[in-house]
């Protein structure tokens, strides 16, 4: 099961956890790493001791010095939703970590390679949460693979072992998975959020810019029921429902990728990882 990505970061399986701000937890990242995949946490969450990385969103990225310090305790520092910057990549390397960049276009992938990134994540519009580009995964992935020599992860609607196998055969060095891991026992998602995911199908998702308080004009994929409810109440916060939240969640940002139809129950993160690679 080894790929350029697994050899680069030192994990066993070509499965990377999406960081998932608001619901990603240290426990979830550790569980994915323990199962052989690569765990990620959002920048607001402490990284785990195993195969783990930190994700930074460019609209809210801290100073290069802070990036350098955070890189000292993880294997990977990854960036998304902004143009690749040589200064930040250099800070990551100076801190002793690998640098990754999530991209939504070939131009961004080439730019990431030029500023020294160690790998890129090609994200298609099937992904849940915020979107980097306007192409579906089947369109962007082949072009990125032929445009850069770096390891390339595929992201967007990946939720079944069949899809994992298909993407690896197309040349991806691994896959990034988010929505499947929201419905795990280690997730920080509110139980009602998980319930909505389990009940949904791919046709129940929609791309919008509605949930944009503090981060305007940033497209994201959510459940359509959440968008409909939020338009009635006026709720526009970007944070998804998390454990312990004391409010109704139906009108919140219920991020969901197009693989949501394959989320049918709450499982352990280990079982999700092992299920995704069972055909490899």
Q: So what's the pLDDT on residue 249?
A: 98
Per-residue pLDDT of the chain (280 residues; tens, 9 = 90+): 799 999 999 999 999 999 999 999 999 999 999 999 999 999 999 998 877 999 999 999 999 999 999 999 999 999 999 999 999 999 999 999 999 999 999 999 999 999 999 999 999 999 999 999 999 999 999 999 999 999 999 999 999 999 999 999 999 999 999 999 999 999 999 999 999 999 999 899 999 999 999 999 999 999 999 999 999 999 999 999 999 999 999 999 999 999 999 999 999 999 999 999 999 9
Instruction: Tell me how far apart the alpha carbons of residues 271 and 37 are, in angstroms, rounded to a whole number.
Output: 12
Q: What pTM was estimated for this model as a whole? A: 0.96
Query: Over the chain, what HEC string results?
Result: CCCHHHHHHCCCCCEEECCCCCCCCHHHHHHHHHCCCEEEEECCCCCCCCCEEEEEEHHHCCCHHHHHHHHCCCCEEEEECCCCCHHHHHHHHHCCCEEEEEECCHHHHHHHHHCCCCEEEEECCCCCEECCCCCCHHHHHHHHHHHCCCCEEEECCCCCHHHHHHHHHHCCCEEEECHHHHCECCCCECHHHHHHHHHCCHHHEEEECCCCCCCCCCCEEEEHHHHHHHHHHCCCCCCCCECCCCCCCCCCCCECCCCHHHCCCCECHHHHHHHHCCCC
CA distance to 20, 98, 148, 200, 209, per residue, from 206 (Å):
18, 34, 31, 12, 10
CA distance to 27, 61, 131, 190, per residue, from 187 (Å):
8, 24, 21, 9
Token pair belonging to 69: 């310090």
Asked if 178 and 20 touch (Cβ cutoff 8 Å), the reply is: yes
Residues sharing a CB contact under 8 Å with residue 106, sequence separation 6 or more, in sequence order? 140, 143, 144, 147
Instruction: Tell me how far apart the alpha carbons of residues 84 and 105 are, in angstroms, rounded to a whole number.
Output: 12
- Across the beta sheet with 98-103, the strand order is 15-17, 174-177, 152-155, 119-123, 98-103, 76-80, 52-57, 39-42
Token pair belonging to 173: 């060095």
* Domains, in order of start, for the chain: 4-183+264-276 (3.20.20.70), 191-261 (no CATH)
């Amino acid at each position: 099961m080894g790929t350029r990505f697994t050899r680069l970061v030192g994990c066993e399986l070509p499965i990377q956890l999406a960081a998932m701000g608001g619901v990603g937890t240290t426990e979830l990242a550790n569980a994915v790493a323990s199962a052989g995949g690569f765990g990620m946490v959002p920048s607001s969450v402490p990284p785990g001791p195993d195969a783990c990385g930190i994700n930074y969103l460019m609209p809210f990225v801290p100073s290069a010095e802070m990036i350098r310090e955070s890189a000292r305790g993880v294997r990977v520092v990854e960036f998304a939703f902004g143009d690749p910057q040589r200064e930040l990549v250099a800070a990551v390397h100076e801190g002793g970590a690998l640098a990754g960049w999530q991209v939504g276009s070939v131009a961004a992938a080439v730019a990431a390679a030029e500023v020294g990134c160690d790998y890129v994540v090609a994200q298609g519009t099937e992904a849940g949460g915020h979107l980097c580009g306007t192409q579906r995964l089947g369109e962007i992935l082949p072009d990125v693979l032929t445009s850069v020599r770096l390891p390339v992860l595929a992201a967007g609607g990946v939720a079944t072992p069949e899809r994992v196998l298909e993407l690896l055969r197309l040349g991806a060095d691994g896959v990034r998975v988010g929505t499947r891991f929201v419905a795990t026992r280690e997730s920080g998602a509110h139980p009602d959020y998980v319930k909505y995911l389990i009940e949904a199908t791919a046709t129940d998702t929609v791309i919008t810019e509605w949930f944009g308080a503090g981060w305007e004009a940033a497209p994201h994929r959510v459940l359509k029921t959440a968008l409909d409810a939020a338009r009635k109440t006026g709720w526009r916060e970007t944070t998804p429902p998390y454990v312990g939240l004391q409010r109704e969640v139906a009108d919140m940002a219920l991020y969901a990728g197009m693989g949501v139809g394959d989320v049918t129950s709450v499982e352990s993160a280990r079982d999700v990882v092992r299920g995704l690679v069972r055909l490899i």
